[in-house]
Amino acid sequence: MRRLLFAANWKMHLGPADARGYLDAFLPSYAPHADREVWFFPPAVSLEAVARAIAGRPDLRAGIQDVHWEPKGAFTGAVAVPLAAQAGARAALVGHSERRHVFGETDAETARKVRAVLGGQLAPVLCVGETLAEREGRTTIEVVRRQLGAGLDGLDGGTLDRVVIAYEPVWAIGTGRNATPQDAAVVHREIREWLSKRGAGVTRVLYGGSVNLKNIDELLRERELDGVLVGGASLDPDGWAQLVSTREL
Ligand code: PGA
């Protein structure tokens, strides 16, 4: 059985009061499903509110959108893994395309973050994906392999199984233009091959980029996808409850 994972990336939306209101609406409309988990990545200020609201629901998890690799120190504005964990985070996004392309995060920084997240016993969700120019230049696989190599270098199979990979083509994020399930599957297969060569067996590989209620059926029908990472379509609790309830066909 696939262990489906639906991850909501709220980006810079929903403060603590909004988050509480969101979960007041979401929780009664989404009962646990044995075959899936739902993870929420709120802004750091809302993490504790989310973690409190979902306590008692083991199928739900809260995570942080970005971390610093140092456990503490003089890093104004940054959040360390142990601090996020104290606020209730059990997972962390690493290397999201907005971190890479808006904030200039490098492959070397994602590598340090993955290690810090693993060291703090949180689940890293490493995001990888090509830009439009890279896709048009037919370098998608090369780019994704480079990002995997940089982010996960030297980790053994057992550790890789604790990582989640999110394949998110940059050109599909927030654009309304999703990759076709077939296009995503080609890259997912490459990612799985890369992982299995290093001894991993059960690492989950998600797709992200303009996932919504209209395309979720078609995407989940593609067995290469272990789930989805969703931005815009996760912001409305009713729509999100419907999306995460999507039946497998
Ligand atoms: P989107 O964002 O669903 O709004 O395209 C996905 C993401 O950035 O994780």
Express each pLDDT in 125-149 by its tens digit. 999 999 999 999 999 999 999 999 9
Q: Give kind and range of the element (H or E) at residue 110.
A: helix 107-119
Residue with tokens 């989404």: 30
Instruction: Give the span between the Cα atoms of 244 and 227, in whole angstroms.
Output: 10
Which residue in 199, 174, 24 sits closest to 96, CA to CA? Answer: 174
- Confidence at 248, pLDDT banded by 50, 70, 90: confident
Ligand 1: residue of 41, 211, 213 to mutate (most ligand atoms within 8 A of CB) is 211
Q: Is the pLDDT of residue 216 over 90?
A: yes
Judge whether 201 and 231 are in contact, CB under 8 Å: no
Please work out, in degrees rounded to the nearest 5, the angle formed at the alpha carbon of residue 180 by the alpha carbons of 104 and 241: 80
Q: Which position has the token pair 């909004």?
A: 18
**In angstroms, how far is CA 9 from the centroid of its own chain?**
7
177 lines ligand 1 (CB under 6 A): no
| CB atoms inside a 10 Å sphere around CB 72 | 10
Cβ atoms 61, 54 nearer than 8 A: yes
Q: Is the pLDDT of residue 86 over 90?
A: yes
- Span 45-55, mean pLDDT? 98
Over 80: is that where the pLDDT of 1 sits?
no
Catalytic position from the list 96, 98, 105, 109: 96
Is beta strand 123-128 parallel, antiparallel or unpaired with respect to 204-208?
A: unpaired
Average pLDDT taken over every residue of the chain: 97
**Which of ligand 1's atoms lies nearest the C-alpha of 9?**
9
Among 206, 164, 216, 213, CA closest to 185: 206
